[in-house]
Structure 1
Amino acid sequence: MPIDGLVIHKLINEINTETTGMTIKNIYQPVNHQLLIKLNKKNILFSLRNPAYIVLLNEKPDVPDSPQNFSLLLRKKIKGGKIVNVKQMGLDRIGYIEIKNRNELGDLKIFKLYFELMGKSNLILVNDENKIIDALKKSTDSMRSILPGAKYIPYYDDSKALIFDDINLLDFPFMGFSKKSEEILRKIGIEKARNQIKNNTVYYFKDLEKPDVSSITPENYIYEELSPSEGILKLFEERTKKSKIIETKKKLEKIVIKNIEKNERTKNNLLKDISKEEKLPEMIKKGELLQSYLYTAKRGDKFIEVTDWESGKKVKIELNPLKNPTTNLEKYFKKIKKTKTMVEFSKNRIKKFIKELEYLYQLWETIDSSEDIETLEEIHEEMFLVGLIKSKKKRKIKKVKNSYRHFEYMNFEIYVGKNNKQNDELTKNAYKEDIWLHTQGIPGSHTIIKSAGKEVPLKVIEYAASLAATFSRAKLSSNVAVDYTQRKNVWKPGGAKPGMVLYKNYKTIITNPILKLIKNI
């Protein structure tokens, strides 16, 4: 859900409680959409990029001191001033910091720094006559003017303050609140909602499809209760992580897909060459017939028609009329030899491209199934080592601490690799009696059941097979074939790419992926 007026309400209450009476030590504007007010003990950060928010920081972040016009004006007007209070207008995403400071003549004056955290978010400084001194974003329209000297008119809907009045919840439309907040309000009732809104915490939901934060929550939600600023900071930290994961995935997938397309084109061309083998028997037969009936041909003939001594059928053999019969015969056998050589060469060469494509599809699957940036960094290193990613500079290989996916079922431990590096390590380090699983003929993660010297029950194998299907290219399919065998039957051929192995003495089980795990991939 968006950061609505209910969440902003709690943030402003927190900031008001923590900062009232503090002195403004400095103002920073590291980028155009951010403003940091440093106080003697705390810091107030405004972020005006959608979704806009205000948050309280205990420590000042490392920001460059390269002031822009608006921050320079704020330094001139309110630096050294004391915060009188921080207020919200109703339950809207608009509020202000009231500041008491002396002007150039030494007179004590009141300033208000309005923050509009909605639509075209803005910061506006006004004087004690409510006239605009300056704004981060200047504008004018039919409703109001945000220019120096103009009277400040806020976008404000006081109906949003009515949640604290005695009203019938179902009769009141919560305009401007997020749809999710309104839905929760209607479920839990006005009294519970009012009590939750009045407390000083927010509810952080990490296990939703998208991490989120709210000022109210129904009882059946799994949440973490945090201070408003902690909740917002955690939310954006998680969103930043997810954005980085998505961005890195796209970057790596683009490289892999490009190489897949290139190798598929080469493979298809080789298959076309190999398909010419089908014509070889006919070519050889015509060559033999031409050799036997050469005496019937003469220069200028475009073809000769002879009888096949095996089938008794008439066979038409095309000739080059500009060449004599002997030269035509020589060219026929040269063409046969060339086709044989080309077919043999293509058969040998295509093996390399089939193996390369198996590896690339496996690599693509590991990227697609990655859930964290550490796994993607390991994949990036792998792609660099195998030559898929080029670097002009000498690259130092990073050592990333990253654990396997770990599950427990019926007191058996099950491990699933997150990428090809982990697949190799997992399989290599498993004991020979451990059970190794992999989707049949489909790219996916290596899965190991730790036998611990015991016989592994079929139910455990079935569960591990479902995990192998879940973390594979067949995760959205059903009735997936998964092969399993003891680790001692699995080996890595010399020169094989990361994650590629061969195995024998295996059994196959048909299973389905685990849907609730797929949602997190």
Structure 2
Amino acid sequence: MAFDGIVTMAAVCEMRPKLIMGKIDKIYQPESEELVFHIHTKQGNLKLYASVNPGAARIHFIRSQLQNPPAPLPFCMLLRKHIQGARITDITQTGSERIIEISLETLNELGFTVSKKLIFEIMGKHSNIILLDIASGKIIDSIKHVSIDVNRVRQLLPGIIYQYPPKQDKIPFKELLGDISAEQNYISANGLSPDASVIQKTIGGISPSFAEEMALSNNSVEFLKNTCKKIYLSEASPVVYTDDKGIPREFHVTTLSEYEDVCTAIPFDSLSECMEYYYNNKQSTNRIKQKSSDLLRTVSAQLDKLRLKEQRLKEDLLKAENSENLRLYGELLTANIHKIKPGAKSATVTNYYDGTAIDIPLNPTVSPAKNAQQYFKKYGKAKTAVKEKQLQLSANDNDINYLESVISYLENARDISEIDALRRELEETGYIRKRKIPGGFKEKKIKSDPYKYSIGDAFEILVGKNNKENDFLTFKTASSRDIWFHTKDIPGSHVILRASQNSGTNTLPPFEELPDEVIYAAASIAAYHSKGRKSENVPVDYVPVKYVKKPAGAKPGMVIFTNNRTVWVNPKLP
């Protein structure tokens, strides 16, 4: 990963002029490993984001709005107590390390000014955020507690004197910028352009990609100096490299030759924009993927159980349907009861339907008449079982269809709020346990906010993001003359085609008079927002909303409809 000492230095150079003397207005903790600071500065309000996620540790400005939990987490509450309203007096990098220190001045309970420090350690799985009391040098608290059981060399716990991470046996890259003797010693030992592996073993604070770039230059130290000079002068050119699928592979504050020919370079004006794009689009660190993974596992496990139940129900149903021989045994025993001796283990009788001989197993402990009654009783139970198993199988199929639709929404989710809405839907339907919110806080109500698309100026398309929103869209938002779309026998969103608000009319033309291109465009959107997104020639049903009904007791999003037509389209957005 590219977040090395060079990028850390660039981050400090970007943040320092903007945040010095800024006031921390609000502090949020969207996830257990993330913090967002709303800072009021002379240049306006800024949002500083920090994460200690092992695979995506970083600190930078963001523009997007993150979803916050209903109740603030403990570390967030502690930061609000100690540094909300504090002034930022300085921002520095610790040597050449991936450590950023933000010095703060705030008032204590008695109204006296006290100095505190936020330390951001961006070091992979060892990343942490520590709040420090400068006067005593003691840790007030940290976002991750590191006890002696985890690390015998360095603990991070409240009340302990803070110690910096142990130094590596390398030359910090900043020493090569101004210390001539250090530069000469390095060149005499390694030459002007040593191998990348030698550079990385010798110089501290640089990533493998940057070491490779230094090795390709004519003078590795001069290249390092020029890069750092550009950073200090705000002339650096942050760039993200993406593969042919658009997934980011690497980023840095300078061009990287090893990616130039095999990847697409996307330049950015600022390092924060560069990092926000990189981490938001990188699949392995995508917050939506991480957030939905737990739900996907839970729903998939439920789905596996339902499919196993379906298999067993079908086996039981098959046995129950093949029960005519029980009735036949009862009839033949009754007809030949005078020929059967009490205590016999079986009886051979003639089947008067086809004249063949049949051996009927008997229970020797009861009379022949009782054996006949038992066979009739088993036959009656089997017939009842057929009806019951069919009802259970139908209910089980409904559950399977519902959970498959939930998985489809989870896989296609674009925003954290969609994941939260799906979680709440699963809690309300009883598939997962409802989360307890500490402190008496209540979850915010989620408003319906469907996807919206336009087809020209005359038509508007609304798409549900989950099953509950599908119901609201179809039965509350849409009018009876609007057109309803849904993929045929494939889990997907309800799609409503209606007249655009800018068209001057609130109603669509008659169903039969709609242009074919509008029907196909709406159907393509319905196919895109379904499990068949990556398929071709997907069947889509469409029908006026007045023919769509919801059966009593049906699960969210489950409907029945009549008078529909079907088109086959390729999934795509307008």
TM-score, L = length of structure 2: 0.60
Indicate the residue corresponding to 2:402 in structure 1: 359
Indicate the residue corresponding to 2:190 in structure 1: none
Task: For residue 450 of structure 1, give the secondary structure of its aligned residue in structure 2.
Answer: strand
Partner Cα separation in structure 2 for residue 249 and residue 15 of structure 1: 32
Equivalent of 1:459 in 494, 517, 542: 517
In structure 2, relative to structure 1, the CA distance for the partners of 1:316 and 1:156 (3 Å cut) is: farther
Indicate the residue corresponding to 2:559 in structure 1: 501
Indicate the residue corresponding to 1:343 in structure 2: 386
Indicate the residue corresponding to 1:372 in structure 2: 415
Q: What are the Cα deviations for residues 440-485 of structure 1, in whole angstroms up to 9, with x where unaligned? A: 1121111122254233322222232222222222223333222111
Equivalent of 1:154 in 152, 167, 172: 172
- Which blocks of at least 5 consecutive residues in structure 1 are unaligned? 23-29, 68-79, 100-113, 124-133, 145-152, 162-170
Supply the AA of the counterpart residue of 2:445: K
Alignment of structure 1 residues 38-77 onto 2, 5 Å: 64=79
Identity fraction in percent: 29
Supply the AA of the counterpart residue of 1:505: N
Q: What are the Cα deviations for residues 84-126 of structure 1, in whole angstroms up to 9, with x where unaligned? A: x97997xxx77999x9xxxxxxxxxxxxxx9997788899xxx
Indicate the residue corresponding to 1:209 in structure 2: 247
Equivalent of 2:542 in 469, 473, 484: 484
Task: For residue 345 of structure 1, give the secondary structure of its aligned residue in structure 2.
Answer: helix
C-alpha displacement of 1:49: 6.9
Q: What are the Cα deviations for residues 377-434 of structure 1, in whole angstroms up to 9, with x where unaligned? A: 2222222222233348698452224521222234432221110122112212222232
Equivalent of 2:454 in 404, 408, 414: 408
Q: What are the Cα deviations for residues 333-365 of structure 1, in whole angstroms up to 9, with x where unaligned? A: 122122222222222333322223222222222
Alignment of structure 1 residues 27-426 onto 2, 5 Å: 64=79, 136-138=164-166, 143=169, 153-154=171-172, 199=235, 202=238, 208-210=246-248, 214-215=252-253, 225-229=268-272, 231-232=274-275, 243-391=286-434, 396=442, 398-401=444-447, 403-411=449-457, 412-426=459-473
**Number of residue pairs matched?**
438
C-alpha displacement of 1:438: 0.9
In structure 2, relative to structure 1, the CA distance for the partners of 1:327 and 1:135 (3 Å cut) is: closer
C-alpha displacement of 1:311: 1.6
In structure 2, relative to structure 1, the CA distance for the partners of 1:2 and 1:464 (3 Å cut) is: farther
Supply the AA of the counterpart residue of 1:138: P
Kept in 2, the 8 Å contact 1:436–1:486? The answer is yes
Task: For residue 371 of structure 2, give the secondary structure of its aligned residue in structure 1.
Answer: helix
C-alpha displacement of 1:505: 0.8
In structure 2, relative to structure 1, the CA distance for the partners of 1:117 and 1:385 (3 Å cut) is: closer
Supply the AA of the counterpart residue of 2:487: T
Partner Cα separation in structure 1 for residue 362 and residue 15 of structure 2: 95
Equivalent of 2:569 in 507, 511, 519: 511
In structure 2, relative to structure 1, the CA distance for the partners of 1:209 and 1:277 (3 Å cut) is: same
Kept in 2, the 8 Å contact 1:443–1:473? The answer is yes
Partner Cα separation in structure 1 for residue 531 and residue 282 of structure 2: 26
In structure 2, relative to structure 1, the CA distance for the partners of 1:225 and 1:262 (3 Å cut) is: same
Partner Cα separation in structure 2 for residue 55 and residue 82 of structure 1: 16
Supply the AA of the counterpart residue of 1:400: I
Indicate the residue corresponding to 1:72 in structure 2: none
Q: Which has the larger radius of gyration?
A: 1
Q: What are the Cα deviations for residues 207-250 of structure 1, in whole angstroms up to 9, with x where unaligned? A: 943597543579x9796844335654676688899754233312
Partner Cα separation in structure 1 for residue 564 and residue 11 of structure 2: 59
Indicate the residue corresponding to 2:474 in structure 1: 427
- Which blocks of at least 5 consecutive residues in structure 2 are unaligned? 22-28, 63-75, 83-87, 104-118, 130-161, 178-182, 184-193, 201-205, 217-222, 500-506
Partner Cα separation in structure 1 for residue 448 and residue 284 of structure 2: 16
Q: What are the Cα deviations for residues 43-87 of structure 1, in whole angstroms up to 9, with x where unaligned? A: 999988766657689xxx9973999xxxxxxxxxxxx9999x979
Supply the AA of the counterpart residue of 2:542: Y
Partner Cα separation in structure 2 for residue 392 and residue 49 of structure 1: 23
TM-score, L = length of structure 1: 0.65
Kept in 1, the 8 Å contact 2:482–2:497? The answer is yes
Indicate the residue corresponding to 1:437 in structure 2: 485
In structure 2, relative to structure 1, the CA distance for the partners of 1:214 and 1:64 (3 Å cut) is: same
